[in-house]
């Protein structure tokens, strides 16, 4: 970005530039900054690096919390089976009061 004449502290700062907030359509300057930003991100492999770093952090967290995640998976599987079982049973006609008694009115 700096080679293109723009100074932003981070990639996100260019998109968050307050000059773009009030415009209903993009100005020439905003389009020029956006184009320079995309070119810079492509040249530096910014998105690829961001994805790789994020994935590595996620793998570390998964490894560190494998026991808890295993319990959560077991809980979710049990819950899914319980829901499937509940949905597979035939509903009974209940009285309008919701008291669980069969409606015996004529």
- Window from 5-9, 76-80, 88-92, 100-104 with minimum mean pLDDT: 100-104
> Which pTM was predicted?
0.58
DSSP state of 2: T
Label residue 94 by pLDDT band (50, 70, 90). low
Asked if residue 50 lies in contact with residue 41, where contact means CB atoms within 8 angstroms, the answer is no
User: pLDDT digit string (tens) for 41-75?
Assistant: 999 999 999 999 999 999 999 999 999 999 999 99
pLDDT of 22 higher than 60: yes
Asked if residue 49 lies in contact with residue 55, where contact means CB atoms within 8 angstroms, the answer is no
């Amino acid at each position: 970005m700096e080679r293109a004449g723009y100074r932003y502290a981070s990639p996100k700062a260019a998109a968050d530039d307050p000059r773009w907030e009030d415009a209903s359509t993009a100005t020439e300057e905003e389009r020029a900054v956006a184009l320079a930003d995309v070119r810079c991100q492509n040249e530096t492999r910014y998105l690829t690096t961001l994805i790789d770093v994020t994935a590595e952090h996620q793998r570390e967290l998964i490894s560190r919390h494998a026991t808890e995640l295993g319990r959560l998976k077991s809980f979710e599987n049990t819950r899914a089976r319980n829901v499937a079982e509940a949905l597979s049973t035939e509903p009974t006609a209940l009285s309008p009061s919701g008291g669980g008694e069969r409606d015996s009115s004529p």
